Amino acid sequence: MEEKLKNNGGQEFANGNPENIKKDFKGLLGGVGVFLKDLLDIRDNTDQEATKESIIADIPFKGHTSWILICSIFIASIGLNANSTAVVIGAMLISPLMGPILGMGLSLATNDIDTLRRSLKNFAVMVVLSVFTAFLFFYFFPLRDESSELLARTAPDIRDVLIAFFGGLALVIARAKKGTIASVIFGVAIATALMPPLCTVGFGLAIGNFGYATGAMYLFIINTIFIGLATFLVLKLLRFPMVRYANSQRRRFISRMASIVAVLVMIPAGVTFYNVFQESLFRKEASQFIANNIIPYKLPGEGRYLDNLTEIDYGRGKNGHIELVFMGSEPIPDNIIATWNAQKDDYVKLRNVDLKIVQGSKNLELDQMKYVNELYESKKAELLSKEEQIRVLKEAVEKMSDLAAQQIPFKEISAEAKTNYENLSNLGFAYILTTDFNKLDTIPMFTVKWDKELSANQKVKDTEKLASWLRLRLKNPKIQVREDEI
What does the alpha-carbon distance between residue 84 and residue 191 come to, in Å, rounded to a whole number? 16
For residue 115, being part of any structural domain is answered with yes
Q: State the CB neighbour count (10 A cutoff) for residue 413.
A: 17
In a shared domain, residues 178 and 85 = yes
C-beta separation of 91 from 195 below 8 A? yes
Question: How many domains are there within the chain?
Answer: 4
Q: Is residue 362 part of a domain?
A: yes
pLDDT for res 108 = 81
Neighbours of 465 (CB within 10 A): 13
Q: Are residues 109 and 231 in the same domain?
A: yes
| pLDDT on residue 395 | 66
Distance CA 225, CA 221 (A): 6
Residue 19 in any domain: the answer is yes
Check whether residue 9 and residue 85 sit in a common domain: no
CA-based radius of gyration for the chain: 41
If asked whether residues 202 and 56 sit together in one domain, one would say yes
Q: Is residue 277 part of a domain?
A: no
Q: Does residue 403 lie within any of the structural domains?
A: no
What is the CB-side half-sphere exposure of residue 39 using CA atoms within 13 A? Answer: 6
Is the domain of 206 the same as that of 82?
A: yes
- The SS3 assignment for 14 reads helix
Q: Where are the alpha helices (DSSP H) in 407-438?
A: 410-420
Do 357 and 229 share a structural domain?
A: no
pLDDT at site 1: 47
End-of-domain residue from the set 243, 264, 290: 243
Does residue 118 share a domain with residue 79?
yes
The residue from 195, 226, 243 where one domain ends is 243
* Same-domain pairing of 10 and 91: no
Instruction: Please state, in angstroms and rounded to a whole number, the distance separating the CA atoms of residues 485 and 297.
Output: 85
**Residue 467 neighbours by CB under 8 Å, 6+ apart:** 446, 479, 480, 481
Is pTM beyond 0.95 here? no
Contact at 8 Å (CB) between 370 and 377? no
Q: Considering the domain boundaries, does residue 289 fall inside one?
A: yes
Which ranges of 60-194 would DSSP assign to H, the alpha helix? 64-81, 85-94, 98-110, 113-140, 148-151, 158-176, 182-192
- Say how many C-beta atoms besides its own lie within 10 A of residue 365's C-beta: 7
Does residue 88 sit in the same domain as residue 211? yes
Distance CA 189, CA 153 (A): 16
Closest CA to 209 of 149, 146, 160, 147: 146
Where on the phi/psi map is residue 93: left (φ > 0), alpha (ψ -120 to 50), or beta? Answer: alpha
Please answer whether residues 66 and 99 qualify as being in contact, where contact means their C-beta atoms are separated by less than 8 angstroms.
no
Would 276 be classed as within a structural domain?
A: no
Q: How far apart are CA 375 and CA 371, in angstroms?
A: 6
CA–CA dist 168, 185 (Å, integer): 10
* Domain end point (choices 243, 272, 297): 243
Same domain for 367 and 457: no
Q: Are 295 and 159 part of one and the same domain?
A: no
Q: Residue 341 and residue 336: Cα distance in Å, rounded?
A: 9
Tens of pLDDT, residue by residue, the chain (486 residues)? 444 444 544 444 445 566 767 666 666 676 776 666 666 667 777 777 888 888 888 888 777 888 888 888 888 888 888 877 778 787 777 777 788 888 888 888 887 878 888 888 988 988 898 899 989 988 888 766 666 666 666 666 667 777 878 888 887 887 777 765 555 555 665 556 677 888 888 888 888 888 888 888 888 887 888 888 888 888 888 888 877 765 566 666 766 766 676 676 667 667 777 777 888 888 888 888 888 888 888 776 666 777 777 888 887 656 788 888 777 667 778 888 888 888 888 888 888 888 888 775 444 445 555 555 555 555 555 555 556 656 656 665 665 555 555 567 778 888 888 888 888 888 888 878 777 777 777 788 888 888 888 888 888 888 888 888 888 888 888 888 888 765
Domain encompassing residue 467: 410-483
370 and 473 together in one domain: no
- Specify the pLDDT at position 462: 84
Q: d(Cα 157, Cα 222) in Å, to the nearest integer?
A: 10
Q: How far apart are CA 207 and CA 209, in angstroms?
A: 6
- In sequence order, which residues have a C-beta less than 8 Å from that of residue 203 and are 6 or more positions away? 77, 80, 134, 138, 144, 150, 212, 213, 216
Query: In sequence order, which residues have a C-beta less than 8 Å from that of residue 97 and are 6 or more positions away?
Result: 69, 126, 130, 189, 194, 195, 198
Please report whether residue 197 resides in a domain.
Answer: yes
Residue type, 211: G
